[in-house]
Amino acid sequence: MGRKSLKDTRQKEIVRAFYQLAKKEGLENASLAKTAALININPSLVIHYFKTKEHLVYALTEYILDKYLLIFKVPPRHSGNALDKLLTVLDNIFSNKWNTLFDDSVSYNCYSLTFRNSTIKKKYKNLLDTLRSNLEALIVACKEEGSLSVKDPALTADIIFVLIDGAYYYLSLVTNKNEYRKKLLLYKQQALQQLNLASS
Amino acid sequence: MGRKSLKDTRQKEIVRAFYQLAKKEGLENASLAKTAALININPSLVIHYFKTKEHLVYALTEYILDKYLLIFKVPPRHSGNALDKLLTVLDNIFSNKWNTLFDDSVSYNCYSLTFRNSTIKKKYKNLLDTLRSNLEALIVACKEEGSLSVKDPALTADIIFVLIDGAYYYLSLVTNKNEYRKKLLLYKQQALQQLNLASS
DNA sequence: AAATAAATTGAACGATTATTCAATTTATTT
DNA sequence: AAATAAATTGAATAATCGTTCAATTTATTT
């Protein structure tokens, strides 16, 4: 009885608004009131769906981290060929599309919370490990296919993501487009080198 | 005439208090009032020395970034031997001391501001480039000494710091002491590998 | 001691914050 | 149409925020 629940819909709507706000003004300046105003609802409605602001931040973190899994979404036209798939994933990672798909600014905002919030810390640790094991699986597939020669796939996947995270830590500070492009290519070659793949 | 200026002393004292506060509660919860209370002064005195909170954050950023240069401070007993010096620096970087000397939490806090504040962005970019060129100089010295064989010192220094930044991005999430120790050693070996140095 | 300038205080400002609670609106059921 | 339950509003809360300004204290000079 009663009316049907809008919980899921509203929660997603609120999180997206909160994200957009954090993106524009920084997480430290994203308030419940501003979030509510952005989608023309009452601030108390936000509290109604997310008991506290803390829970909204948790939802934001999940919203952001989920996006990073998209780098493994590859069009299914790559049928059968594991190496093709791996190279496409690496293209996804080391491309100018990165900055349009993901918003590192809000991610670093949430990341900085991990030092004082174990819940967020676990979410991040979990994502980073998931990304690593996904890449490892791709490498293993290539090994089985015979298209790749790698001693320790888990180790290699780990190192590659260390390179990725370190690369974007620096690249986020680079404003010069040419320097950005040049460095990005360079870091990609380093990743390929870890896979014993020659660079063209 | 008049009394002698306490500007420098007070400013440093305030910045240190602000830092301690940010370390404990996060930069987003570090206020001028709390900072003043921590050192038993009036909040308006903080404003007196740092026109606005923004300027205090700038000072905090500089305070933090300066600390990272300490990794190149090596006891002068390493006279003449450039390779020894380089290895000591790498020991400084890949050691458990890192977390005690530096506070990555506040640093990530400030780093996340770079996306919306060009002043802080420049400070970070400048530091990262300084760290790289310092390491490059060490590598060059080793080359001239004949104790190291590296094609492109600038490139190698860059890659090594990419590894470092990516390494601590992951390591900051690792709570298990054994896992931490293991990974740290692993990442160090990767850095040494970039220098064509065999790992023991 | 008088003059000077910086250090420091204290009160007040308006704005915004997260959260509460009761009241009301709205949709879906019987 | 009556009953039900969730959605939504609106007002009020106490707390904290950064900042301004005038007044006062303090140290150092002439």
Q: Give A30-67 pLDDT, tens digit per residue.
A: 999 999 999 999 999 999 999 999 999 999 999 999 99
CA of B13 to C1' of D11 (A): 44
Whether A28 and chain B come into contact, CB under 8 Å, resolves to yes
Chain B residue whose CA is closest to A108: B112
pLDDT digits (tens, 9 = 90+) for A85-117: 999 999 999 987 777 778 899 999 999 999 999
- pLDDT value of position B163: 98
C-alpha dihedral, A144 to A145 to A149 to A151, nearest 10°: -10
Residue A78, pLDDT > 70, answer no
Which nucleotides in chain C lie closer than 7 A to a protein CB?
3-12, 16-22, 26-30
For residues A94 and A194, what is the distance between their CA atoms, to the nearest angstrom?
15
The whole-number pLDDT of residue A97 equals: 76
Q: Say which nucleotide is closest to residue A5, CA to C1' distance.
A: D6
* CA atoms of B185 and B157, how far apart (whole Å): 19
Interface residue B119 vs chain A (CB under 8 A): no
Q: Do B169 and A166 touch (CB under 8 A)?
A: yes
Nearest protein residue to D21's C1' (by CA)? B44
pLDDT at A76 over 80: no
Asked if A166 lies within 8 A of B162 by C-beta distance, the reply is: yes
Q: Which residues in chain B show pLDDT less than 50?
A: none
Is pLDDT of A200 > 70? no
Per-residue model confidence as pLDDT tens digits over A132-154: 999 999 999 999 999 999 999 99
Task: Give Cα B184 distance to the centre of its chain.
Answer: 17
Cα B28 from Cα A25, distance rounded (Å)? 13
Assign A156 a pLDDT band (cuts: 50, 70, 90): very high
What's the CA gap between A104 and A24, in Å, rounded? 12
pLDDT of the residue at B99: 75
Within 13 Å of residue B170, how many CA atoms lie on the same side as its CB? 28
Residues of A in contact with B166 (CB under 8 A): 161-167, 169
The pLDDT of A72-95, averaged and rounded, is: 87
**Burial environment of residue A95 by CB neighbours within 10 A (0 to 12, 13 to 18, 19 or more):** middle
User: In percent, how much of chain A has pLDDT > 90?
Assistant: 88
Closest CA to B50 of B38, B58, B40: B58
Q: Helix H segments across A50-176?
A: 53-68, 82-93, 97-101, 104-111, 118-145, 153-171
> Does A167 reach chain B within 8 Å, measured CB to CB?
yes
Residue B102 confidence (pLDDT): 81
Tokens of B161: 């710091």
Q: Is residue A111 within 8 angstroms of chain B, CB to CB?
A: yes
pLDDT digits (tens, 9 = 90+) for A3-35: 999 999 999 999 999 999 999 999 999 999 999
